[in-house]
Structure 1
Amino acid sequence: MKQLSGSCHCGAIAFTFSTHAPAPFMRCYCSICRKTSGGGGYTVNMLGQYATLKVTKGKDLTAPKDQQVLCQDRFFCPTCASILVLPYASCIDTELPKPERATHIMMGSAAKWAVPEDGERYDEYPPYSLEEWHKTHGYYVD
């Protein structure tokens, strides 16, 4: 597995986690992703191993599990409001591999103004998982 590090915009919170799938290739246009972080009308989620998540700085600033909303695995910085965990690729500080092309998912929920670049497009989910894509394209890390 590859260990990744991330942080919020102001630096008050930092974290690490491990993943088998470090290439940020799948752009999600669902309303949750779009409204919580998608300046381009989408967000890019990473496939992190939740059991490996460690908040290394600012743990006291993160909301307790019973106060988190929408998804138990999301939290944000109360100072700069960066959304930190699914995690979104935008908060990863470790250099990530650049995939050859993007896959655009949940296009059925996309804002009319969001114009995806070239790549595969799916109204909902693709017929493969993030892990399968990484294995097929040579990005999977044991």
Structure 2
Amino acid sequence: MKLEGSCHCKAVRFTVQASSPYPFMRCYCSICRKTAGGGGYAINLGADRRTLTVQGSEHLSVYRARLDDGSTSSGERNFCRRCGSALWLYDPTWPELVHPHASAIDTPLPVPPQRVHIMLGSKAPWVEPEVRAGDLCHDAYPDESLAQWHARHGL
């Protein structure tokens, strides 16, 4: 599915082909919720990095999070330095992938048949996850990837 996205001020616009476009996984880790998660979580999609095209790249900046052990994450969180919108995550550990934030996507996204709440062990105390019947909950990262979840649901 071709996704079109942008930051709030429209200085950065991008397109990317996503084989995993259902916004099903809510991540409550401190990095996601503090850099992109106004509701206490962020939703990342899975896309093919080779197809990412960007207009306004001069307005991009990258944040690499400091981890609990004091090291720096290999993940590059791309955001608009003009308005601060979180746009996508790229990690060179998986060079073929890019993970756009669902909140930055302008293309209508499909409604997921199930939601997965991850990193609940790291959620902020004020966050009350909206867990529905059939949702899966994990205190840490699940074994199932974005692509595997899509395949299991035939999407």
Number of residue pairs aligned between Structure 1 and Structure 2: 134
Q: Report the CA distance between 1:134 and its aligned residue.
A: 0.4
Alpha-carbon separation, structure 2, partners of 1:96 and 1:53: 18
Q: Report the CA distance between 1:19 and its aligned residue.
A: 1.4
Alpha-carbon separation, structure 1, partners of 2:154 and 2:75: 31
Relative contact order, higher structure (CA 8 A, sep 6+): 1
Q: Partner of 2:147: helix, strand, or coil?
A: helix
- Asked whether 1:89 is paired with 2:132, we answer no
1:122 to 135, 138, 154: 138
| Percent identity (aligned) | 50
The answer for the alignment partner of 2:56 in structure 1 is 58
Alpha-carbon separation, structure 2, partners of 1:72 and 1:129: 17
The answer for the alignment partner of 2:94 in structure 1 is none
Q: Report the CA distance between 1:138 and its aligned residue.
A: 2.2
Asked if 1 retains the 8 angstrom alpha-carbon contact of 2:16 and 2:47, the reply is: yes
Q: How does 1:24-103 map to 2 (within 5 A)?
A: 24-55=23-54, 57-63=55-61, 68-70=63-65, 71-86=74-89, 87-103=100-116
- 1:123 counterpart letter in structure 2: D
The answer for the alignment partner of 2:5 in structure 1 is 6
Structure 1: gaps spanning 5 or more residues: none
Alpha-carbon separation, structure 2, partners of 1:25 and 1:72: 21
TM-score (norm 1): 0.87
Classify 1:8/1:59 alpha carbon distance in 2 versus 1 (closer, same or farther; 3 Å): same
Alpha-carbon separation, structure 2, partners of 1:77 and 1:127: 31
Classify 1:40/1:68 alpha carbon distance in 2 versus 1 (closer, same or farther; 3 Å): closer
The answer for the alignment partner of 2:92 in structure 1 is none
- 1:107 counterpart letter in structure 2: L
- 1:40 counterpart letter in structure 2: G
Alpha-carbon separation, structure 1, partners of 2:64 and 2:147: 26
Structure 2: gaps spanning 5 or more residues: 66-73, 90-99
Which stretches of structure 1, 4 residues or longer, exceed 6 Å deviation after superposition? none
Alpha-carbon separation, structure 2, partners of 1:69 and 1:127: 24
- 2:120 counterpart letter in structure 1: M
Q: Report the CA distance between 1:74 and its aligned residue.
A: 2.1
Q: Report the CA distance between 1:123 and its aligned residue.
A: 0.5
The answer for the alignment partner of 2:97 in structure 1 is none
Q: Partner of 1:36: helix, strand, or coil?
A: helix
